[in-house]
Structure 1
Amino acid sequence: MSSLAWMPIYTGDVLAETAGLSTEEFGTYMLLLFAYWQNGELPNDDIRLARIARLDPERWLAGRPSIEALFGPNWSNDGLDNLRNQAADKRERKIAAGRKGAASRWQNGKSNASANGNRISSANGKGNAEPIATSTISTSGAYEGKAPTHAHTHARGDIPLPINRQEAGQWLSDQGAFPGSENFDECVDLMMSGELDWSHVERLRA
């Protein structure tokens, strides 16, 4: 039998049956009970029993007669055997109930998924749900065969006369011209002098 996580202690019974023990003997007895509960038995070996009791061999042998009287043959304990069997049965029932509940939840989830799939199929009038079509952008029509204009293209109008070169460069950049491109500085100069026209701007965009 595997070890169990908890051990019931009936304090009235324990205190009654250990009334004749010293404090050390009581501690020894409880340590032996704990080991019995975990393993289902105790070794019939004084060296190992002394280690379980956390005593040196001499002290163990001195207290052994009082402790042994509380156990059955070969350090058996019918009371703990019955409690262990009850606890093990209860644990197995809980495990079985948990497995049954998990299986039921899985089956219900599977049934719900199947029902949802059937509803989708019925709504579509087909055995399988129809895929959702994705929209596409057509390249045909008025723009076919034409290169797109720059994203920053502005409606044509009068070219302003800037206050300084920085303002001129900013205006040209707003029209889609790159400041590092060829003829950019030349267009800035033309704009400052009022001689810039839209043909210059178009060439600068190209």
Structure 2
Amino acid sequence: MSKIKTWMPLYIGDYLADTASLSTLQHGAYMLLMMEIWRNGPIQNNPRRLSRVAKTDVQTWEDEIWPELQDFFTVVDGCLDQKRLRAEREKAEEISKKRADAAAKRHASKQNACKTDANAEQMESNSSANAHANAEQVHSKCSASGHANDIQKDTQSQSQSHSSLRSEDVGCNRAAEIEKPIADRWQELAEDVIAATGNNPARSMVRADCVRQWLADASARGYSFETATEIILGTVREKSRFGGKGKPPAWFNSPVTQALASGTIPSAHIVGNAPKSRADRVADAWAGVPDIPGV
């Protein structure tokens, strides 16, 4: 079932102002009709069909309910519809689509990162194999020619070339590691933060600029965007349960700042050091390759 079908916005002030003259029976029928239209679209304008949706009989529908409710609806192509409800549904669908697209982009980005890491590991393996092959070739030349000085010069030259290639390889990998700063991705997180505070992102007018600063702090501490998101949302959700529900994001500034400083994800686990980048992992891999005499 679509998430949109599981909830419907209700602006209580507007609703009570528009329906002040309705009876209890009419209120119930009105709500049931709006929920049916929200979930399944316009309803066929037929008394028998409408009375079933309103959970009443046709006689009661025609005598006590419909005369008071008919001004709240419009009939389009023989079906009962509600203008405000349709506008809210379209807005909710647009927001849902944007979030789905953003999630798909993040998933694609993670897949590309995995492919890059796999290529880096292959390069590490090939470089290690070449290093051992060069070492064997150097020792063969030494035993065949007997010219120790000349061979020593050749060996030193190959060692310098190999070291240069290894340095360039790490440098290239570091260049590929450069990504968009996580602080520039704050808008991806802002809507989720607003929702975690108990506000409705679709109509909330609260400012969420503090999310940008939170991500800047997280970046300075070496966190990835995903880890920073876990810490920030975890803290906001926990504080919302204890007096923070409905507050603007800026209200959570102090606990979020403290959580980023300590690396704590509430009700989950303690975050350690930020994960190493691919370039750092390449450098660590080369550090583990034993030195070969003369190479």
TM bucket (normalised to shorter chain) is: 0.5 to 0.7
- Following superposition of structure 1 onto structure 2, how do residues 25-64 of structure 1 map, counting pairs within 5 Å? 25-62=26-63, 63-64=65-66
Length-normalised TM-score, structure 2: 0.41
In structure 2, how many angstroms separate the alpha carbons of the residues matched to 1:76 and 1:82?
A: 11
Letter in 2 for 1:73: V
2:124 aligns to what SS in structure 1?
helix
Letter in 1 for 2:97: E
Residue 117 of structure 1 pairs with residue 122 of structure 2: yes
Q: What is the match of residue 70 of structure 2?
A: 68
Q: What is the match of residue 101 of structure 2?
A: 96
In structure 2, how many angstroms separate the alpha carbons of the residues matched to 1:55 and 1:24?
A: 9
Bigger share in helix: 2
Give the superposition deviation at 1:64: 0.7
Residue 105 of structure 1 pairs with residue 110 of structure 2: yes
In structure 2, how many angstroms separate the alpha carbons of the residues matched to 1:8 and 1:81?
A: 11
Question: Looking at CA atoms only, which structure, 1 or 2, has the larger radius of gyration?
Answer: 1
In structure 2, how many angstroms separate the alpha carbons of the residues matched to 1:36 and 1:119?
A: 60
Alignment RMSD (CA, Å): 1.9
Give the superposition deviation at 1:115: 0.8
Give the superposition deviation at 1:103: 0.7
CA contact (8 A) 2:4 2:93 kept: no
- Following superposition of structure 1 onto structure 2, how do residues 153-164 of structure 1 map, counting pairs within 5 Å? none
Letter in 1 for 2:127: S
Residue 79 of structure 1 pairs with residue 88 of structure 2: no
C-alpha distance after superposition, 1:51-105 (max 9, x if no partner): 1111111111121110111112342211111101100000011111111111111
1:32 aligns to what SS in structure 2?
helix
Give the superposition deviation at 1:41: 1.2
Structure 2 unmatched ranges of 5 or more? 132-295
Letter in 2 for 1:17: D
Q: What is the match of residue 233 of structure 2?
A: none
2:8 aligns to what SS in structure 1?
coil
CA contact (8 A) 1:41 1:76 kept: yes
Q: What is the match of residue 15 of structure 1?
A: 16
Q: What is the match of residue 210 of structure 2?
A: none
Q: Which stretch has the larger CA shift, 65-74 or 110-119?
A: 65-74
In structure 2, how many angstroms separate the alpha carbons of the residues matched to 1:4 and 1:30?
A: 15
CA contact (8 A) 1:3 1:39 kept: no
CA contact (8 A) 1:2 1:39 kept: no
Q: Identity, % of aligned pairs?
A: 33
Give the superposition deviation at 1:3: 5.9
1:7 aligns to what SS in structure 2?
coil
1:73 aligns to what SS in structure 2?
strand
Length-normalised TM-score, structure 1: 0.58
1:125 aligns to what SS in structure 2?
helix
Aligned residues between the structures:
126
1:69 aligns to what SS in structure 2?
helix
Over 3 Å counting, the alpha-carbon distance change for 1:93 and 1:107 in structure 2 is same
1:117 aligns to what SS in structure 2?
helix
CA contact (8 A) 2:73 2:82 kept: yes
Give the superposition deviation at 1:47: 1.1
CA contact (8 A) 1:4 1:88 kept: no
In structure 1, how many angstroms separate the alpha carbons of the residues matched to 2:84 and 2:13?
A: 14
CA contact (8 A) 2:36 2:53 kept: yes
C-alpha distance after superposition, 1:140-174 (max 9, x if no partner): xxxxxxxxxxxxxxxxxxxxxxxxxxxxxxxxxxx
- Determine which structure has greater relative contact order: mean sequence separation of CA pairs < 8 Å that are 6+ residues apart, divided by chain length: 2
1:19 aligns to what SS in structure 2?
coil
Structure 1 unmatched ranges of 5 or more? 127-206
Give the superposition deviation at 1:43: 1.6
